[in-house]
Structure 1
Amino acid sequence: MNPEHGLPLPQRYWAILVVALGITLAVLDGAIANVALPTIARNLHATPADSIWVVNAYQLAITISLLPLASLGDRIGYRRVYMSGLALFTVASFGCALSGSLASLAIMRVVQGFGAAGIMSVNTALVRMIYPSDHLGRGISINASVVAISSVIGPTVASGVLAIAPWPWLFAINVPIGVAAFALGWRSLPRTPGHRRPYDFLSALMNAAVFGLAITAIDGLGHGEHRPYVAAELIVAGAIGYFFVKRQLTQTAPLLPVDLLKIPVFSLSVATSFCSFTAQMLAFVSLPFLLQNAFGMTQVMTGFLMTPWPLVIVFIAPLAGILSDKYSAGVLGGVGLAIMTAGLLLLATTGAHPSPFDIAWRMAVCGLGFGLFQTPNNRQMLSSAARDRSGAASGMLSTARLSGQTLGAALVALIFGLAPQQGATIALIVAALFAAAAAVVSMMRLTQHKVPETPASV
């Protein structure tokens, strides 16, 4: 396979279908678990607070293992990591369906999270191998569309399944899809050789400690955990992080891609992604409270009015992918995030008695801006790394997204704790500030020279 030319047709279509199926499973499983928490808690005789671990265990496992698995993909090949993650996710889904207690379900969710991390850590690296270099943006746009579609249908799928079957079927439906995706992937995914450098297990453990403690501390800060505990977690995370980064600076292919972060356009793209996903999560978590508590919307109407944002992304992402193959990510991202900022401010300043249309078109503006930014930004991150560091770039892409989403959710909880009456409006204003910061950072890339793609060392 010539890496510059991608896979031949029709193998390319089958391969991108496998990538899309894997991402769908990983994203859907996060969304459906949120909706099903009350039902799971009642069935397993668990308290609502304890049942949160069904969500947290999954998210934490993904976050601490993304970069280690991305580094492993650079070493042993992206196909192996992706296929192993898909297999583990499928087996763990079956285990979740058979769980009879909250403890066993939480353990299976940890295993499932590691499988999802295997999928997420290298999926964009695989896209880079599947598509020709001059069509890379179109391939990445498929990822963005799939994530958006999965976000749209997640709550609907969960509600539909729970209407006709008990909660274990939420996880059982993953099994046939996972098996089919594995069979297709075995035949179609590209084989990419890795390198012979030994794997840095100590760095993987340090990475897990730093991200695990940092995410736990941020979440605890938002949910009112005792401040001394939060401070202790942050201090320990900072101390381990210092030695972790120091160790990475001595590595030729570091697990934390400090070599890539030294490339200005890459680090600016990471910062843009982090700020924009923080803004998105601030909005997504706070908007249901605004719509239901302030505007008196029903739960059904809230779900309906939240849909235009991801729905517009589904349509704008392919166009953004085509544009990203021709125009600067700095411009496309800056314009898109400026539009998103405007949409968030419009939502924050909506009158006291808005009509559904007033909310819907503002949500669509946010989706338009976010969709215009996302694909070009992801393409820039991936193409600014050498081909044999595609796994590290892919892992950093997912890490920036998840870290931003975690901070956004924690900030909403913190804002609501400080200002319960005006919390939703304040959260939207803070989201607009993060989106505006992301737009500025995105435009800063225009001062950087484009980094040429390194031809294949894979």
Structure 2
Amino acid sequence: MSQIGRPPCEESIVLEGAPATPCAMRLRRWTLVATILGSSLAFIDGTIVNVALPSIQRELNAATSDAQWVMEAYALFLASLLLVGGALGDRFGRKRIVMIGASLFTLASIGCSLSWAMEPLIIARAAQGIGAALLVPGSLALISATFPQSERGAAIGTWSAFSGITAAIGPVIGGFLVEHFSWRWAFLINVPVGVVLLAICAAKVPESKGVTKAGNIDVWGASLVTIGLGGVVLAFIEAPSRGWSTAPIWGSMAAGVVALLLFGLVEARVASPMLPMALFRERNFAVANVLTLLLYAALGGSLFFLPLNLIQVQGYGATAAGAALLPFIAIMFLLSRWTGGLVDRFGSRLPLVTGPAIAAVGFVLLALPSSHSSYGTAFFPAICTLGLGMSVTVAPLTTTVMNSVAKDLAGTASGINNAASRTAALLAIALFGFILTLVFNATLNSELRKLHAPAELVSTVLAQRQKLAGITIPGGYGEVTVAAMKQAVKASFVSGFRWVMLLSTALALLSAVSASMFTDGKDVRRQRHSP
């Protein structure tokens, strides 16, 4: 759930693609089916796994930091290698790279389902992320490579409709499988989809490559950004348990920062960079990506912890938790056409200030529920408000990104913005987890001092503090004492969760402020020259 709905600019990757290679209508239809299946793999995985995390944590006796790594290992390689995956498809064949990505993703899903401990699960999730980085951009590029410009709009409409359905039913199906069978089915559900996708690609999808000779693959850039993001994420996730003064933590942070600085230097000098720095000379493009980083950090970081709150604190089943965000998805789906015309009517600035501001109200409302709050009065209004804010933002943001650069760079620009949204969520989950853990520990210490519970019970609880709300209270004590201890754990998590929501509010407001820096408040016209 840390990546609910489609990231910004995803549709534009298709609309602004290269001229299509002529092929029969029958093959176009099969290509569209393959594209829908390929996107569905990523959508389903992104929404199901978060619902399964409490069950994984409980069965594998894992700390919350381990649960973070289940998401972060996947997100790290997807965000770092997304642009490289698109370049590989252009150079070596989009169908070929999609099939390699789908094969790796499917095999890694089986590996996840067979994991007996957190370490092999996290490794398998990393492999899934690499597969997704090959699969996602390639599957979208297949539409632009197969459908002529005049037919892409209709193809996109079909793809978008099925993507919306997938985003809606994915968490519910995942929750049902986790609740009634096992969390392992949250990964096994990918296998039949992957097998069908491979069969269709092999038999029905035509191969295509970039229309011009591609440059060298930016291996240095991909390596440095992966090391850089990985180092920063590792430091924030592991610091609460190891401490910032330990060599692995400060060393990891230092290595990450240095690698990211080197990444910027390399991208400014290589002939075929994965991140063309010249694009950021265009003010609107730079501002749009700052807005994306801030807002999607707020969204991705907060939605990672919401299912943990619903399941471990509020007592929801996995199915109910999976269905909790259906209003968010429904609002974005229903308002997508209306919000797509906001830039034409009002310019870019107004919707991109208003949307994040509305989202900020949604985050504030999510900070209000206690450890015993009903969905209808506490979470539903917040989720609807958040959905409205994101609906007002996403389509105008996509339009602004696409209109801020020359037409021949539109595909690159959309890919960068798409990767920015995923990177933002990756970093936010690590940072928010660090903050939540600090607040949880401080609050739990305070709550336990008030209880005057038996010393051995307190020691048992504190020994599990890395599980946060997943702490198990042992039996053998009075019912009142156990109930009070459970409430202390829940209250501590809610306290940390509120800080996360307030930080999300601040990031959303900052993204609204950044939108005020757009140079064109009334009209957005495509630039006639490259940066």
Normalising by the smaller structure, the TM-score range is 0.7 to 0.9
1:226 correspondence with 2:243: yes
Change (3 A) 1:255 1:10: same
Aligned residue for 1:227, secondary structure, equals coil
- Contact 1:209–1:240 (CA<8 Å) still a contact in 2? yes
In structure 1, the partner of 2:267 is 248
Which protein is bigger by CA-based radius of gyration? 2
In structure 1, the partner of 2:293 is 274
Pick from 401, 411, 415: which aligns with 2:435? 415
Could you tell me how far 1:89 is from its partner in structure 2?
Answer: 1.6
Q: How does 1:318-397 map to 2 (within 5 A)?
A: 318-321=337-340, 328-348=347-367, 356-359=375-378, 360-382=380-402, 384-385=404-405, 389=409, 392-397=412-417
Could you tell me how far 1:94 is from its partner in structure 2?
Answer: 4.0
Change (3 A) 1:236 1:41: closer
Aligned residue for 1:445, secondary structure, equals coil
Pick from 255, 265, 269: which aligns with 2:284? 265
Change (3 A) 1:372 1:2: closer
In structure 1, the partner of 2:216 is 198
**Given residue 214 of structure 1, which amino acid in structure 2 is its aligned partner?**
V
Q: State the distance in 1 between where 2:236 and 2:115 align.
A: 29
Change (3 A) 1:72 1:380: farther
Q: How does 1:154-233 map to 2 (within 5 A)?
A: 154-162=170-178, 165=181, 167-185=183-201, 187-188=204-205, 191-193=208-210, 194-221=212-239, 223-228=240-245, 229-233=248-252
- Contact 1:122–1:394 (CA<8 Å) still a contact in 2? no
Change (3 A) 1:366 1:143: farther
**Given residue 190 of structure 2, which amino acid in structure 1 is its aligned partner?**
N
Q: State the distance in 2 between where 1:139 and 1:46 align.
A: 45
Could you tell me how far 1:439 is from its partner in structure 2?
Answer: 2.0
In structure 2, the partner of 1:31 is 47
1:438 correspondence with 2:454: no
Aligned residue for 1:447, secondary structure, equals coil
**Given residue 65 of structure 1, which amino acid in structure 2 is its aligned partner?**
L
Could you tell me how far 1:181 is from its partner in structure 2?
Answer: 2.7
Q: State the distance in 1 between where 2:185 and 2:397 align.
A: 36
- Contact 2:164–2:329 (CA<8 Å) still a contact in 1? yes
In structure 1, the partner of 2:10 is none
Q: State the distance in 2 between where 1:250 and 1:188 align.
A: 37
In structure 1, the partner of 2:4 is none
- Contact 1:145–1:315 (CA<8 Å) still a contact in 2? no
- 5+ residue gaps, structure 2: 1-14, 441-491
Q: State the distance in 2 between where 1:369 and 1:337 align.
A: 6
Moved more, 5-14 or 57-66: 5-14
- 5+ residue gaps, structure 1: none
Change (3 A) 1:125 1:321: farther
**Given residue 425 of structure 1, which amino acid in structure 2 is its aligned partner?**
R
Q: State the distance in 1 between where 2:150 and 2:356 align.
A: 24
1:275-333 CA distance string (max 9 Å, x none): 11112134324545766798x56446655544322332222234334556776444433
**Given residue 179 of structure 1, which amino acid in structure 2 is its aligned partner?**
V
1:95-151 CA distance string (max 9 Å, x none): 445556655544433222211111234555556667777998887787777666545
Moved more, 297-306 or 392-401: 297-306
1:247-276 CA distance string (max 9 Å, x none): 221234312231322322222221111111
Pick from 90, 106, 111: which aligns with 2:127? 111
Change (3 A) 1:168 1:424: closer
- Contact 1:274–1:400 (CA<8 Å) still a contact in 2? yes
TM-score by length of 2: 0.70
**Given residue 403 of structure 1, which amino acid in structure 2 is its aligned partner?**
T
Q: State the distance in 2 between where 1:439 and 1:127 align.
A: 33
**Residue correspondences, number:** 452
- Contact 2:98–2:138 (CA<8 Å) still a contact in 1? yes
Moved more, 334-343 or 443-452: 443-452
Over the aligned positions, Cα root-mean-square deviation in angstroms equals 4.1
Q: State the distance in 2 between where 1:113 and 1:129 align.
A: 24
Q: State the distance in 1 between where 2:29 and 2:350 align.
A: 30
1:347-369 CA distance string (max 9 Å, x none): 44579987643332332121011
**Given residue 279 of structure 2, which amino acid in structure 1 is its aligned partner?**
L
**Given residue 400 of structure 1, which amino acid in structure 2 is its aligned partner?**
A
In structure 1, the partner of 2:136 is 120
Change (3 A) 1:440 1:383: same
Q: State the distance in 2 between where 1:277 and 1:393 align.
A: 17
Change (3 A) 1:351 1:56: closer
In structure 1, the partner of 2:455 is none
Moved more, 318-327 or 115-124: 318-327
Aligned residue for 1:401, secondary structure, equals helix
In structure 1, the partner of 2:85 is 69
- Contact 1:94–1:171 (CA<8 Å) still a contact in 2? yes
Could you tell me how far 1:195 is from its partner in structure 2?
Answer: 2.2
1:450 correspondence with 2:528: no
- Contact 1:320–1:376 (CA<8 Å) still a contact in 2? yes
Pick from 64, 87, 91: which aligns with 2:103? 87
**Given residue 216 of structure 1, which amino acid in structure 2 is its aligned partner?**
L
- Contact 2:348–2:520 (CA<8 Å) still a contact in 1? no
Change (3 A) 1:97 1:133: same
1:55-76 CA distance string (max 9 Å, x none): 4432333233223323434544
Could you tell me how far 1:370 is from its partner in structure 2?
Answer: 0.5
Moved more, 310-319 or 433-442: 310-319
Q: State the distance in 1 between where 2:86 and 2:19 align.
A: 23
Q: State the distance in 2 between where 1:10 and 1:371 align.
A: 34
Q: State the distance in 1 between where 2:179 and 2:324 align.
A: 22
- Contact 1:3–1:129 (CA<8 Å) still a contact in 2? yes
